[in-house]
Amino acid sequence: MASNSKKPAPRTAASSSSSARPKRSTPARRVLVLVATRKGAWLFHGDAQRKTWRADGPHFLGHIVSHLMLDPRDGRTLLAAAKTGHLGPTVFRSTDLGRSWKEAARPPAFAKAPVGQPGRAVDHTFWLTPGHASEPDAWYAGTSPQGLFRSADGGVSWEPFSSVNDDPQYREWMGSVQDGTPDGPKLHSIIVDPRDPAHLYFAMSSGGVHESVDGGRSFSTLVQGLEVVEGFDAANLTFHDPHCVRLCPSNPDRLYQQNHCGIYRLDRPSTEWLRIGRKMPKRVGDIGFPLVVHPRDADTVWVFPMDGGSVWPRTSPQGEPAAYVTRNGGKTWQRLDAGLPSSQAWWTLKRQAMCADTHDPLGLYFGTTSGELWMSRDEGARWACIAQHLPEIYAVETAELG
């Protein structure tokens, strides 16, 4: 299927910001922001200074696009996880930065169940992770309901991991659709250790965090220290709800996690997560979905807290959105809200909707449930809106083009 409507590209300007740090040289590599929404996908091309942005889209207008990723290994292959409200899920692939798209020959799908047994069907592919640098055509995908898949041919065909998808213990931990999040239970946060292609992590909402050291032939649980909702048994993986797990590129032995029950850090080889969100202001709490790690500093992490009180409104706390940053591994946190609405702003961010670039100073990007795309050119010291009136944003990723 080809889908693309080319439209005049509006240019928007992010207002100039005054960095808290001295100005440093900015690499010439241009940032591409990949925005996946409930009604299609957009690419925002930045200039070298990250000041003006050219919108390219919509791609797949009307499709629910859960994730859009550029392959960092070749700098031109895009994969989009898409479905519509009525049609089955699929993956689209572009090798020319979205000028043309081709559908995967075999999108992620569960194995056919034995006769007489109820089988599962992929509702949507939710998460895409490019494989290890040494495996240029490898990709991983996570689905809803929870499933783990791998492609060895650049996303054209996908194979299920029976070690997870069909394992009776894993199926029990995944629970039923009723145990899942409002858009369905998800497998997400697929991480490939940059030092070892056989060392994998993934997380399930619900179902906990898991690790493999043999390329996915077997997995072990990694939930020690994580809390669950009061009254439930933390020994039961079904009750574990990791929202977003990230590995620090500058120290692959360090992981951070935004969980349904707080913010955590894990320093391998330890297997015990430490709740670092306790140091967040009580009025804001440490509930949220996205978490962003600094590409060069394993002590620096950004989160975007959400109201997880009472009925779980899933809005910014008090209608006052803000990111928080720690620069010491979670010992202390600072609020970053300059430029953001100071009141009556009830949006929040989904777990894939916040990310960073690799410039110095680092750029941060997030997309809101209300369809606004924001960025900061100074590591969160000041925010500016790049685009408004997009559909609900599900995922924001960056890529850098030479």
Q: Which is nearer to another protein, 85 or 231 (CB)?
A: 85
As separate numbers, helices (DSSP H) first and strands (DSSP E) second, the chain gives 2, 29
Task: Give the binding range for another protein (CB under 8 A) out of 109-117, 171-179, 216-224, 232-240.
Answer: 109-117
DSSP assignment of 37-92 equals ETTEEEEEEE-TTS-EEEEEEEESTTSEEEEEEE-TTTS--EEEEEE-SSSPPEEE
Tokens 């629910």 -> residue: 64
Q: Could you tell me the smallest distance in angstroms from the CB atom of residue 37 to another protein?
A: 15
| 167 binding another protein? (CB under 8 A) | no
Residues 6+ apart with CB under 8 A from 109: 121, 122, 158, 160
DSSP assignment of 304-366 equals EE---STT---S-GGG---EEEESSTTS--EEE-TTS-SSS------TBSEEE-S-SSPPEEE
Choose, by CB under 8 A, the member of 9, 13, 48, 111 that binds another protein. Answer: 111
| 176 binding another protein? (CB under 8 A) | no
Rounded distance, CA 121 to CA 74, Å? 32
Q: Which is nearer to another protein, 158 or 324 (CB)?
A: 158
Tokens 């440490």 -> residue: 286
Number of residues that bind another protein (CB under 8 A): 23
Tokens 């050291």 -> residue: 213
Q: Which is nearer to another protein, 84 or 332 (CB)?
A: 84
- Residues 241-280, one symbol each (x = binds another protein by CB under 8 A, - = not), give ----------------------------------------
| 105 binding another protein? (CB under 8 A) | yes
Task: Give the binding range for another protein (CB under 8 A) out of 117-125, 321-329, 350-358, 372-380.
Answer: 117-125
Q: Which is nearer to another protein, 57 or 363 (CB)?
A: 57
Choose, by CB under 8 A, the member of 23, 86, 282, 283 that binds another protein. Answer: 86
| 109 binding another protein? (CB under 8 A) | yes
Distances in Å between the Cα of 382 and the Cα atoms of 14, 24, 120 are 11, 17, 45
Choose, by CB under 8 A, the member of 72, 88, 281, 309 that binds another protein. Answer: 88
Tokens of 246: 């990230």
| 227 binding another protein? (CB under 8 A) | no
Residues 6+ apart with CB under 8 A from 284: 305, 317, 322, 324, 335
Tell how far CA 227 is from the center of its chain.
21
Choose, by CB under 8 A, the member of 84, 100, 134, 328 that binds another protein. Answer: 84
Rounded distance, CA 125 to CA 318, Å? 33
Q: Which segments of 168-263 does DSSP mark as H helices, in order?
A: 168-174
| 112 binding another protein? (CB under 8 A) | yes
**N-term to C-term CA, the chain:** 29
Q: Could you tell me the smallest distance in angstroms from the CB atom of residue 174 to another protein?
A: 16
Q: Could you tell me the smallest distance in angstroms from the CB atom of residue 111 to another protein?
A: 8
Radius of gyration of the chain (CA): 20
Q: Which is nearer to another protein, 120 or 377 (CB)?
A: 120
| 87 binding another protein? (CB under 8 A) | yes
Q: Could you tell me the smallest distance in angstroms from the CB atom of residue 4 to another protein?
A: 11
| 136 binding another protein? (CB under 8 A) | no
Task: Give the binding range for another protein (CB under 8 A) out of 1-9, 167-175, 187-195, 392-400.
Answer: 1-9
Q: Could you tell me the smallest distance in angstroms from the CB atom of residue 47 to another protein?
A: 33
| 182 binding another protein? (CB under 8 A) | no
Binding site for another protein (CB under 8 A): 1-3, 84-88, 90, 103-105, 107, 109-113, 118-122
